[in-house]
A and B are shown apart, each in its own frame.
Chain A
Amino acid sequence: MENIAEYLKEERSQPWRDELRKSMKAKERTSIERVHMPEQDPEKRSHNYLEVNLGLTEEQAITESHRCLDCPDPTCISGCPVGINIPKFIKKIEARDYMGAAVVLKETNALPAVCGRVCPQEVQCEASCFYTVKLKKPAIAIGNLERFAADYERNSGNISVPEVAKHNGIKVAVIGSGPAGLAASGDLAKFGYDVTVFEALHEIGGVLKYGIPEYRLPNEVVDVEIENLRKMGVKFHTNFIIGKTATIDDLRKEGYEAFFIGSGAGLPRFMNIPGENHIAVYSSNEYLTRINLMHAADPEYDTPILKGKVAAVIGGGNTAMDSVRTAKRMGAERAILVYRRSEKEMPARLEEVKHAKEEGIEFLTLHNPVEYEADEQGRVNKMRLQKMELGEPDASGRRRPIPIKGSEFDIDVDLVVVAIGVSPNPLIPHSLPDLKMSKWGTIIVDKETMQSSIPDLFAGGDIVRGGATVILAMGDGRKAAAGIHKYIQEKVASK
């Protein structure tokens, strides 16, 4: 990987890039204001499931692309977990070669239309942008531009399929079809492997389908990316639970040479407080799965969902934001976010917090539920909250919330969604007694190759991290694909 810098330099010195750089003075570029993503009206959108962000217009994208200085040392790339050649794709946009921009994205990112929508760019590429670091100005809108190029390609109906090496006939299994599994399968297919993805649910996409709501990431966008993987030769097997329907050993006997486990962190955490099992207290996973995967909000579908007049969502991450904004869309008169720290410590993307506020979500920070009460039928009707204050920073570096004794008070609620995080799904680890696990139930892997304690088993995403982001899971998937490639090549060579 040491020649990456060399490669980037070479790419940057190509005549078309040189020419573009010279076409506008740096001062002119830096004087352009950052583009503003067009959005659906807050009041209107809080009653529908259509996308909130409407996407940049062509004109906006071109203007924004002019801001990028095409730096000799593109620090933005180091902020990207999958190492997208950011200046190159932006300069392709400036050159009005949008299809070319999409090709650049897909060199290292199997799901650019997804990442352009859900990545926390403000703490990744945009945080290390020259504008942020040196000029103290708003960063280039890298995420918005990524989405623009990916959407342009998708809407053109002429999607490029990445080049695939000659099929080598070697079977590799990918377990779980979320972002980690999809990224791994894309790269493995590029290397020429015979890739089969096993998915426990009836839909491909994992958290992209069951978790992230339609108004933030339309299913259609995900489906197009999956279709692209199919075109690359990746096979998908739904309703197949590894460790249950068949074991890893069964698949070894069927000739699979290596495995990537990207089974996610699908075990919701609860607070274990009294009344948490009352009716209409949901985990965020259940609430969002019913609505996103099972379409419970659509009367045409059979899956039921309970609606609330006053909905409280517990947590401060992206899933909490997704849940509370969904509750609002489901007709809640009051949708309240309850978070035990202050807004500054919230792990959610800034954009989600902003959107939530615009949509009328109430923020009850520095509060924590301690108990729920229910009516005669067992449905939650009251939540007891405790006020909190912030103490010294804890292991996460954020200030620790401390309960204020005697500050408890009740509020009436008829729907609660607990979104305080997830633990790794135990199904696969349970079926592999030799697999080395951490005390948190995550799979222990080599950080470079993503290889586990079992040589033919690689893992990545939340089953390794215990709860992270789409893009970090994708980065793991790509690393693991490279790790698997190396492992199999060495195995073949030694035969």
Chain B
Amino acid sequence: MNKIVEKEFFSENVCKIVIDAPEIAKSRKPGNFVIIRLDEKGERIPLTIASSDVEKGTITLVVQRVGVTTAKLLAMESGDTIHDVAGPLGKATHIERVGTVLCAGGGVGVAPLLPIVEGFKKAGNKVVTVLAARTKELVILEEQMREFSDEVIVMTDDGSYGKKGLVTAGMEEVIQREKVNLSVVIGPAIMMKFAALTTKKYNIPTIASLNTIMVDGTGMCGACRVSVGGKTRFVCVDGPEFDAHQVNFDEMLQRLGAYKKEEAEAYERYLKTVQ
């Protein structure tokens, strides 16, 4: 049982949730995720850890409403408890001094990107961060990103804030301008696919952090499997970060849709219960 100690909506469908989890707060590293289960009848879903506070014993998650579980989570209040929180899981980001790191985050992918940006900055790299969102209200954590980035470029699809265009346009701008030694991309699968295609053109080593469907999160079930360089890998234990140029994003996108019908039906049923 883990208590929610703080909750703050970034936008209608995106919320920051701080959870009491002292052991995880202590051991988590950038790149790690947790598996949560809201109640006895809940499903297990993976959520990447955005930050932690060892002294307070808390971890911070940034959650987007995409289905029943995330909708239920966003409807919970401070003081409510989550039945199960397990982690930290997955391999930590390999952080070292490489020179210039181009970090690109889309949507809620910006949240797990934050500790990685911080890590690379503290390791002595120059960090340029591109934040992308559909529209102004969906741009999150910009201020925190600025704290650890040498430069932040904001891109919105509709041009309501920052520059108008996709994440790849922002990335191209940086790549054209200066030597980039490493790129890290986190966001929706489709965004990572195109971000990876962009850096591939310039032969820039690129890491993507994948957020696939999982059940146990400890290597036991294989629900999260993806093809990387033609080989099947498990995101939960082999990842979540992989060489973005080797990931078969098309297969990943398909697998992410495995329960589209079941999820939509479940969401309908859920909406009826809350109305």
Contact = CB atoms under 8 A, between A and B. Distances in A.
A303 interface: yes
B232 A272 contact: yes
B218 A239 contact: no
A160 interface: no
A378 B89 contact: no
A239 B218 CA distance: 11
A300 interface: yes
B223 interface: yes
B215 A267 contact: no
A276 interface: yes
A244 B27 contact: yes
A294 interface: yes
Nearest to A296: B43
Contacts of A75: none
B262 interface: yes
Chain A CB count within 10 A is highest, among B69, B86, B225, B237, for B86
Given A241-B87, A280-B258, A425-B218, A286 B223 contact: yes
Nearest to A238: B84
B259 to A, nearest CB: 4
Nearest to B223: A286
B221 interface: yes
Contacts of B234: 267
Given A239-B84, A294-B44, A426-B237, A276 B215 contact: no
B254 interface: yes
B255 interface: yes
A285 B84 contact: no
B263 interface: yes
Contacts of B251: 277, 378
Contacts of A266: 216, 218-220
- Grouping DSSP codes into helix (H, G, I), strand (E, B) and loop, the A interface class, with mixed when no group exceeds half, is loop
Given A300-B41, A425-B218, A244 B89 contact: yes
Chain A CB count within 10 A is highest, among B218, B254, B262, for B218
A268 interface: yes
B86 A200 contact: yes
Chain A CB count within 10 A is highest, among B87, B223, B255, for B223
A210 B216 CA distance: 10
A454 to B, nearest CB: 20
Given A238-B84, A239-B86, A270-B222, A377 B24 contact: no
Interface in A165-198: none
A306 B259 CA distance: 8
B69 to A, nearest CB: 6
A63 to B, nearest CB: 43
Contacts of B215: 286, 289-290, 294, 303
Nearest to A285: B221
B87 A244 contact: yes
A267 B219 contact: yes
Interface in B22-51: 23-24, 27, 37, 41-44
A241 B255 contact: no
A279 B220 contact: no
A227 B262 CA distance: 36
A268 B86 CA distance: 21
Nearest to B23: A245
B85 interface: yes
A220 interface: no
A135 interface: no
A148 B43 CA distance: 36
A85 interface: no
Interface string B251-265: 100110111001100
A201 B219 contact: no
B83 interface: yes
B105 interface: no
Interface string A237-280: 01111001111001000000000000000111010100011111
A295 interface: yes
B68 A244 contact: no
Contacts of A210: 216, 220
Interface in B150-165: none
Nearest to A288: B221
A161 interface: no
Contact of A277 (B24, B232, B237): B232
A305 B259 CA distance: 8
B109 interface: no
B43 A302 contact: yes
A33 B129 CA distance: 79
Contacts of B135: none
A285 B220 CA distance: 7
Interface string B192-225: 0000000000000000000000011011111101
A326 interface: no
Given A201-B216, A244-B27, A378-B254, A268 B89 contact: no
A8 B43 CA distance: 50
29 contacts: A200-B218, A201-B86, A202-B44, A202-B84, A240-B23, A240-B86, A244-B87, A245-B88, A247-B27, A250-B27, A266-B218, A266-B219, A267-B220, A268-B220, A270-B222, A270-B232, A277-B227, A277-B232, A277-B255, A278-B254, A279-B254, A283-B221, A289-B220, A301-B42, A302-B266, A303-B43, A303-B215, A378-B258, A425-B220
Interface of B: 23-24, 27, 37, 41-44, 68-69, 83-89, 215-216, 218-223, 225-227, 231-232, 234, 237, 251, 254-255, 257-259, 262-263, 266
Interface pairs A-B: 6 shortest CB-CB: A378-B254, A286-B221, A266-B220, A304-B262, A239-B86, A302-B43
